[in-house]
Amino acid sequence: MCLAIPAKIVELLAAEESSAVVELAGVRRQIDTGLLGDDPPRIGDWVLIHVGFAMSKISAEQALDQLQALTVLGEHEAALEEIRGYEFNQSTSGNERGQT
Amino acid sequence: MKFVDEFRDPAVIGHAVSEIRRLAGPSLADRGRHYRFMEVCGGHTHAIYRFGIKDLLPPNIELVHGPGCPVCVLPMGRIDDGLSLAKDSNFIFTAFGDMMRVPGACGSPLQHRARGMDIRVVYSPSDALKIAERNPGKEVIFFAIGFETTAPSTALILMRAKAKNIFNFSVFCNHVTIIPAIRAILDSPDMRIDAFIGPGHVSTVIGCRPYEWVAKKENKPIVVSGFEPADILQSIVMLLQQLRGHEAKVENQYKRAVPWEGNRSALKAMAEVFEIRPYFEWRGMGFISQSALRIRESYAAWDAERRFQVPGVRVTDPKAAQCGEVLKGVLKPPQCKLFGRECTPEQPVGALMVSSEGSCAAYYNYDHRRSEALTNIGAPA
């Protein structure tokens, strides 16, 4: 429930309010960056994601630590499943690009 | 697939364990002292069982599992209340996957789906709002659960729904807050806790400051901790150091994710949308005052409890199930009469057996199965 997943920002979506695309282990999904408020993310930043929302920015080194923690916990599959599960990624799935 | 190949440094673990043994070993002043540490968060409970951390600790350190599993503390009646809305064919009921197998008195969301109701798993509240946008003729309910880790996301989605004038979306709000739960445990006469392993991801939102009263007023050390075995062991070292030094303060072991001040934007979103309920029922712990969030009047149009007739079901837990005692840490999971017999992860009676963060499920999946396997190995063929 309180799973937090580190992922890297690879695209910022100007068309939609506070949206970005993250990548984790080859999986790309749209996330919401609205909770980062005054400190919006840039491409290349690492963020911790919970239920589709970026909760905090972390350093690349910290992200690696977090990924290790998930792997050690055996929750890397659950993390990938969750990221794959985010469906509001319409704008990143090719032919549906631009739809909201 | 693994994100990284090398994941755990046995030297780090070994060092922490020997430090724990040294610090917890008898000194002249506190010969034979027994330490009871509560891990507040269900994620820690899961990690502790998964890695057999208990087995690494000396026998005079006892880990007590806390109430930080949102699925586990939700009273059964709330599930029935939420599902009562799904009976209308015009409604789509959405919830996180964790909720799907949690039994209400009239069955779980999954069982309701099997009866033909439109019940959908979402991984994010954003997806619930999207479903509403795509189904303008339907009423979409998001069954919101979670502590402060999850509540800001629900808040932001409600702000979006309001800004975009999406009126066929509403939230059945069950968000709870961690501080009153810790207070209830400290106030409980049958509890004796020496120190706390503080929740990690809740603290990314609330920061470390809200725990200061635990240290200052209650004189109990608390260390906000990460979830890796090395994190948890290091947090135990930090707690022991405080106790041995007769100190009580808030420390942050999980600095890589938790800023001391928390996440201001997330707290702002929560304050915009939610207010504190005067009281809320917690499974097994009874009514705790000011322990949960409800949707403010200004968002009443998106509050499922105000918009629709909700029966307000109160269900007492099955008598034989001792979820409450386990939730408060008074009983260990296998001490419940139903554990592993009537109540298993496949056929759960109580929510503690459903969620991966519930102590019964964690104990069953790791400890219980392992000791069964060991027994089988030992038994004659």
Distance from the Cα of A31 to chain B's closest Cα (Å) equals 9
Residues 6+ apart with CB under 8 A from B116: none
CA distance B124 to A53: 8
What is the amino acid identity at position B33? R
Distance from the Cα of A60 to chain B's closest Cα (Å) equals 10
pLDDT, tens only, B269-302: 999 999 999 999 998 888 999 999 999 999 999 9
Q: Is the pLDDT score of B2 beyond 80?
A: no
Kindly state the average pLDDT of the residues B72-97: 93
| Residue-averaged pLDDT of chain B | 90
Q: Is the pLDDT score of A92 beyond 50?
A: no
Chain A partners of B123 at a C-beta cutoff of 8 Å?
51-52, 82, 85-87
- Which of B235, B249, B255 is closest to B23 using CA atoms? B235
Q: Where are the alpha helices (DSSP H) in B289-358?
A: 304-307, 323-327
**In this structure, how many other beta carbons lie within 10 angstroms of the beta carbon of residue B102?**
24
Predicted confidence at residue A96, as pLDDT, reads 35
Q: Per-residue confidence at B370, pLDDT binned at 50, 70, 90?
A: low
Residues 6+ apart with CB under 8 A from B295: B158, B171, B173, B273, B274, B275, B302, B303, B305, B306
**In this structure, how many other beta carbons lie within 10 angstroms of the beta carbon of residue B157?**
31
- Burial class of residue A54 (count of CB atoms within 10 Å of its CB; 0-12, 13-18, 19+): buried
Predicted confidence at residue A93, as pLDDT, reads 41
Q: Which of B48, B123, B162 to mutate to test the interface with A (most CBs of A within 10 A)?
A: B123
Contact B156 A62 (CB under 8 A): no
Chain A partners of B264 at a C-beta cutoff of 8 Å?
37-38
Q: Is the pLDDT score of A2 beyond 70?
A: no
Tell me which residue has tokens 């459903």.
Answer: B354
Output the CA angle B73-B195-B224, nearest 5 degrees: 70
Q: Is the pLDDT score of B5 beyond 70?
A: no
- Burial class of residue A6 (count of CB atoms within 10 Å of its CB; 0-12, 13-18, 19+): buried
Q: Where are the strands (E) in chain A, listed by range?
A: 5-13, 19-24, 27-32, 46-50, 53-58
Q: Per-residue confidence at B219, pLDDT binned at 50, 70, 90?
A: very high
Window 317-346 of B, Cβ < 8 Å to A: none
CA distance B353 to B338: 11
- Which of B323, B319, B333, B318 is closest to B364 using CA atoms? B333
Distance from the Cα of A10 to chain B's closest Cα (Å) equals 18
Is residue B265 a contact partner of residue A36, using CB atoms and an 8 Å limit?
Answer: yes
Predicted confidence at residue A95, as pLDDT, reads 37
- Which of A97, A3, A46 is closest to B42 using CA atoms? A3
Output the CA angle B336-B338-B339, nearest 5 degrees: 70
Q: Where are the strands (E) in chain B, listed by range?
A: 35-41, 61-68, 91-95, 119-121, 139-146, 169-175, 195-198, 222-224, 250-252, 274-276, 279-282, 286-289, 293-295
Kindly state the average pLDDT of the residues B204-228: 96
Residues 6+ apart with CB under 8 A from B14: none
CA distance B199 to A2: 10
Chain B partners of A3 at a C-beta cutoff of 8 Å?
43, 201
Is residue A4 a contact partner of residue A55, using CB atoms and an 8 Å limit?
Answer: yes
What is the amino acid identity at position B20? I
Predicted confidence at residue B124, as pLDDT, reads 95
Kindly state the average pLDDT of the residues B310-315: 85
Predicted confidence at residue B4, as pLDDT, reads 42
Residue A94 in contact with partner chain B when CB distance is under 8 A: no
pLDDT, tens only, A22-74: 998 888 999 999 999 878 899 999 999 999 999 999 999 888 877 877 777 77
pLDDT, tens only, B104-159: 888 999 999 999 999 999 999 999 999 999 999 999 999 999 999 999 999 999 99
Using DSSP's 3-state secondary structure scheme, residue B22 falls into helix
For residue B92 the two structure tokens come to 């789509």
Distance from the Cα of B244 to chain A's closest Cα (Å) equals 29
Predicted confidence at residue B312, as pLDDT, reads 87
- Which of B99, B82, B139 is closest to B310 using CA atoms? B82
